[in-house]
């Protein structure tokens, strides 16, 4: 009886979490936190409403030809878009661009060039989106298309992002991304011009954690 009651309570709690707004933040030690109740007032908190609902809308047949307006470019691999009565963040799936310094901290080389190039590609453009789910920060993981081009691949081709080294969505192939990265590296484009001094964004984040 007790086990059944606990099971029911857990289901109810999970349902509340999935249906409500999700707030997330990183504390001074770099630990990530998530909550669907009132967030702490002394933390820099971001909110993503109904991230599962966003993904559901993006995956529907009605949104197949939907175009979205880019309202902000954060860096070389993260943007904010507007469409379908939604405003949400997108993490360009499959790529990892140089890190912009957090709160005045040191920039990774070529991070500003990556952001500028992405802004140029998306300037005054409406984009199509192919979503592959949601990441740990409740951003949509997606390929972004403009003027018939895969923008994710364009950033890699320009040598301003490497192929993402973490887990990939099962239905997204890395082969074309790896091919474009190899070509950019061979030609010394963008960040690859650093040669042996190059550090991956993942390594940079380890050496320069957000505190």
Active-site residue numbers?
A: 91, 99, 139
- Per-residue burial over 45-57, b if 16 or more Cβ lie within 10 Å, else e, is eeebebbeebbeb
The whole-angstrom separation of Cα 117 and Cα 22 is 31
The whole-angstrom separation of Cα 145 and Cα 200 is 25
The whole-angstrom separation of Cα 39 and Cα 47 is 10
Q: How far is CA 163 from the centre of its chain?
A: 13
Quick one: tokens of 167? 């887990």
Residue length of the chain:
211
Q: How far is CA 41 from the centre of its chain?
A: 25
Cα torsion 146, 148, 153, 157: sign = negative
The whole-angstrom separation of Cα 9 and Cα 192 is 53
The helix or strand, by DSSP H or E, that contains position 81, with its residue range, turns out to be: strand 78-83
């Amino acid at each position: 009886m007790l086990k059944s009651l606990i099971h029911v309570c857990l289901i109810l709690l999970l349902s509340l979490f999935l249906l409500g707004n999700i707030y997330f933040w990183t504390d001074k030690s770099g630990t990530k936190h998530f909550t669907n109740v009132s967030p702490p007032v002394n933390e820099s908190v971001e909110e993503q409403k109904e991230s599962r609902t966003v993904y559901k809308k993006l995956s529907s047949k009605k949104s197949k030809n939907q175009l979205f307006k880019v309202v902000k470019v954060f860096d070389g691999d993260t943007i904010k878009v507007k469409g379908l009565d939604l405003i949400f963040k997108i993490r360009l799936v499959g790529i990892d661009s140089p890190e912009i310094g957090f709160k005045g901290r040191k920039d990774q080389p070529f991070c500003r060039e990556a952001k500028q190039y992405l802004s140029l590609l998306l300037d005054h453009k409406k984009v199509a989106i192919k979503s592959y789910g949601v990441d740990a920060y409740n951003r949509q993981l997606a390929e972004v298309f403009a003027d018939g081009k895969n923008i994710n691949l364009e950033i890699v081709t320009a040598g301003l992002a490497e192929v993402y080294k973490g887990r990939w969505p099962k239905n997204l192939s890395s082969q074309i991304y790896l091919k474009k990265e190899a070509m950019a590296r061979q030609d010394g484009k963008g960040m690859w011009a650093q040669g042996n001094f190059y550090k991956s964004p993942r390594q940079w984040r380890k050496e320069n954690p957000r505190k």
